[in-house]
Each structure stands twice: as C-alpha cells, then as structure tokens.
Structure 1
Amino acid sequence: MNDTLSAAILGFVEGLTEFLPVSSTGHVLIVGEMLDFHSTGHAFEVVIQLGAIIAILGVYAKKLFEVFTAAPHDPQARRFILSVLIAFLPAVFIGILAHDFIKRVLFDSPLIIATSLILGGIVLIVIDRMDLHPKHDDAMKIPLGKALAIGFIQCLAMIPGTSRSGSTIVGAMLMGVSKRAAAEFSFFLSMPTMAGAFAYDLYKNYDLLNADDMTLIVIGFVMAFISAVIVVRHLLDFISRHGYAIFGYWRILVGLAIFGYFAIAR
C-alpha cells in the first residue's frame, strides 16, 4: 500500500478515535505498523491531531465564543477557563520531561499498547457498572481541585494505548462528575493539551521533516478533521444513552487482536 493511502487511512483512524476512550495513538500506531507506515520521529502520528483539534474547535466555536466574551464580567466563565488551564498544567511539565522517552521507547512497543488497551478496557467496564452518584453534571462547574486531579490523571495517557479521553473521563467520574459532563470536560481539556503536544512535537521534529512528510501530514490532517467532526457531533448523546462499557469491550478485543497479530507475524 502506498504512503498516501496509508496516511489517509491513519488520519481517518486518528479523528475517529481521538475523542473516544479507546486510545487514538494506540490505534494509529498499530494500524501504521500493520500498513508498514513509518514517519520521521513519529511526528505524523502526533501532528495530524491538529485536524481533530480544529474539528472540536469548530463544533464548540459558539460555546467558546460565549465563554470568552463573558469572561471579563462573569466569574463562572473565568472560573471555567481557569479549571481547564489548571487541568492542562500537569501535561505540560510531565510531557516535556518525558517526551523523548515516550517517543523513542513507548511508541515502539506494540505489547505495551496492547496491554494498556486491555487494562483500560477492563477499567471502563468496571467504572460503567459502578453505582456512582454524580455531584457535578455541568462541565463548566467542576471544582478547581478536582480539575487539577483530572489533569494529573490525564498524564497516564502518555503511555500509548491508555487513552487521553479515557483517563480523563474515568478520573472525572470517580470524582463525582456525570458521564456526559466528564466527556464534555474531556473535550475542552483536549484543546490545549493536543495543541500543546502538536506545537512541541513540531518544534522538536521540524528540521527532520521533508516535503514528502509534510504532504502526508496534510492528508492525515484533512481525514482526521472529517472523522473527528462526525464523532464529536454524536458522542455525547451516545454516551448519555449507552455509557462506556461498549468502548471497554472494544479495547479488550483490539488488545487481544494485537497480541495475536504480532504472535503470528513475528
């Protein structure tokens, strides 16, 4: 399969899985391995997330505009912005410190990805079945201390296969946030987190990228944007009706398939 088609497939997979609690990075890395697609410094897998970032910015443009225009005179709007920034901070420090280890070691270990997928799937199923009693059903009113805790939990997603959205959603639910509000807060937190990861990775790898790399990244970006818009528009309603268990079973199935694939292929 040529690299152009592979980039399109991987971009679609990225956007499709970015906001689901199934690990977009894990899926993209494994599908890339199966397609024999290799990018410079794994920059492709990170930079195409820009498509998903723009997708969610587009879907939430009206709400974001309302929040930021209200911030000068609305304490609740300022508090919400602060809660997202506080939740973002742990990823900044840990991400910068562990960047090289994550990219050079964890990104190249299918077994780590498969194990993380399976363990995360089990956690999602257990959490979905727990008789939790949410205290917070509005993503804009999560207490600052809990927002910071969610930010630290999000850092677990630096292990490929764990899932950024999955870790933030589980962490939020365990701290009394409803399923829908947990998913929506994960959406808002993804904006600075993914933008930061994109900018830092591009900074680290820009000198290594050539014209062919950039062409593939653009293709992946466009496909990620298209599929992410579809997911974001429908995910909250789906979660409200069906919960998270289905994603847990999917993670376990994919994790076991990865073990099987590499056992046969190697």
Structure 2
Amino acid sequence: MDTLQAIVLAIIEGITEFLPVSSTGHMIIASSFFGIAQEDFTKLFTIVIQLGTILSVVVLYFKRFFQSIDFYFKLLVAFIPAVVFGLLLSDYIDELLESPVTVAVSLIIGGFILLKVDDWFGDGETTEISYPTAFKIGLYQCLAMIPGVSRSGASIVGGMSQKLTRTSAAEFSFFLAVPTMLGATLKKSYDYYQAGFTLTGEQINLLIIGNVVGFLVALLAIKTFIDYLGKHGFKVFGYYRIVIGALVLVVHYFVGPLTVI
C-alpha cells in the first residue's frame, strides 16, 4: 500500500462508514481494484482507520456522550450481540472479507430493502430508546458481519423497525459505532500482534494519515447525511447500492477479478 492508496481508502471510509451503503464493502472493492485486498496490512489498515471515523462521532455529539449513565448502559446492551457473534464467527467473517462477489450481492439485496424501508416504517413515532429496543438494534447490527450489508444501514433499519424516527435511529447507530468499531479495532490489532505481525515506520505513517483523513471526511459526511435523511429518506441510497453492486458483478464476471492495479 502506498500513500495515495491509503488516502483514497481513508476517504472512502470517512464517506461511507455512517451511510447505509457499507463502508466495508466499498473498502473491499477499492482495495481489490488496487490489488492489495489480500495483504495483511490492508486488512489491518481498513479496521484501524475506523478510529478516526468514530472520533468524529465523539466530536460532533460530545455533549450527548455525557448526558447520563443510562446512555452508556443502553450502548452496552446494544453492543453485546456484536461481541458474541463476532467472537463466534471471526474466522468465517475474515474469509468473506476477501470476496467482492459477496459484497456485490449484499449491496444489491440491501439496496432493494432501502427502497422499501420508508414505506414499511415511515418516519417513526418516538425518539426514546428502551433497553429492549437497544438490544434489538444490536441484533440487527450483527447482520453487517456479512460484507456489503452496512453496519449503519442494518442498525438504522433496526431502530426504525422499533418505531424510532429516522434521525433518532441514525444517531443511535452513530453512537453504537463507537464501542463496536473500537472493539473490532482492538481485537484485530491484538490478533495481528499475537501472530507476530510487526509494523514498519512507513506503515505506521500510513495508519496516521488514514485516521486523520477518515476523521475529517467523516465529520462532513455525518452532518450531510443527517440533514439529507430527515428530508428525503433512503431511496437514493438504495438505488446507489443496486447500481454499484451490479457494476461489481459485471466487472467480476465479464472483465475479470478486481485486481486491476
């Protein structure tokens, strides 16, 4: 991985992490295009730079993170399913992370769901999140262990299924990203440490660049997304997912595997 590739991947991460389009899916597609998807450092990079994006949530919603102890307990309840399923399915998930086809199919299926989610749930009725609601949102989030599903998309739909407003569901999804992505980063880093993987000075610099770029881009992406979502809903994201997923399948089967560069 070179500096330009690191910056491109970080921009993609910052834009897509909090949109219902699957940041992991886009990172797999982009890294496959660069021909670096199967490199150990690429897999570590795509996880670790999430620290920059979750920091953007803390900065934008700083006061919300100090509103009550109850807030943290609800995040913990929602986080538990990801811990359980993440530990149980870790090896299988790593295999799926190398498959652009899995990403493409997930993008298309998720796209059709987003086309209908506003019709199914409307704009919700409440902004209050109970403990059972938090746990159910956490279960929905686990669907994103399949690359291409979208962590934010799954958890937002989960919130809307519990009659939360679009904005409230989206914001809780952002908050839930903090423990989920922090946990994933720490686990992946520990796994690489246990395997004897050491970082070079250049790789450390790439991680720093990736986190800074991801943080700055995510700040803008979150603010833009919340404004757009409240006014227009999910349909544009559904169409986008379907188009991108279809393009990936066409390229993969009619042009060749995504290892162009």
Please tell me whether the aligned partners of residues 51 and 224 of structure 1 are also in contact (alpha carbons under 8 angstroms).
Answer: yes
Please tell me whether the aligned partners of residues 23 and 161 of structure 1 are also in contact (alpha carbons under 8 angstroms).
Answer: yes
Aligned to 1:173: 160
Shift of 1:202: 0.8
Shift of 1:243: 0.6
Aligned to 1:246: 236
Correspondence for 1:260 among 234, 250, 253: 250
Shift of 1:160: 0.6
Please tell me whether the aligned partners of residues 6 and 37 of structure 1 are also in contact (alpha carbons under 8 angstroms).
Answer: no
Aligned residues with identical type, % of pairs? 40
Aligned to 2:151: 164
Correspondence for 1:100 among 83, 91, 96: 91
Shift of 1:133: 6.5
Is 1:147 matched with 2:148?
Answer: no
Q: Read off the aligned partner of 1:240 and give its amino acid letter.
A: G
Shift of 1:131: 5.4
Q: Read off the aligned partner of 2:65 and give its amino acid letter.
A: L
Q: Do the aligned partners of residues 261 and 89 (structure 1) sit closer, same or farther apart at CA in structure 2, a change above 3 Å counting?
A: same
Give the stretch that moved more between structures: 158-167 or 90-99: 90-99
Using structure 2 for the length normalisation, give the TM-score. 0.91
Shift of 1:129: 2.6
Gapped runs of 5+ residues in structure 1? 68-76
In angstroms, what is the RMSD of aligned CA positions?
Answer: 1.5
**May I ask how many residue pairs the two structures share in their alignment?**
251
Please tell me whether the aligned partners of residues 3 and 37 of structure 1 are also in contact (alpha carbons under 8 angstroms).
Answer: no
CA-to-aligned-CA distance 1:232-261 (integer Å, 9 cap, x gap): 122211100111111111111110111011
Using structure 1 for the length normalisation, give the TM-score. 0.90
Aligned to 2:30: 31
- In structure 1, C-alpha distance between the alignment counterparts of 2:256 and 2:99, rounded to whole Å: 15
Q: The residue matched to 1:21 in structure 2 has which SS?
A: coil
Shift of 1:81: 2.2
Gapped runs of 5+ residues in structure 2? none
- In structure 2, C-alpha distance between the alignment counterparts of 1:45 and 1:249, rounded to whole Å: 25
Is 1:184 matched with 2:174?
Answer: no
Matches within 5 A, 1:200-211: 200-206=187-193, 207-211=196-200
Aligned to 1:90: 81
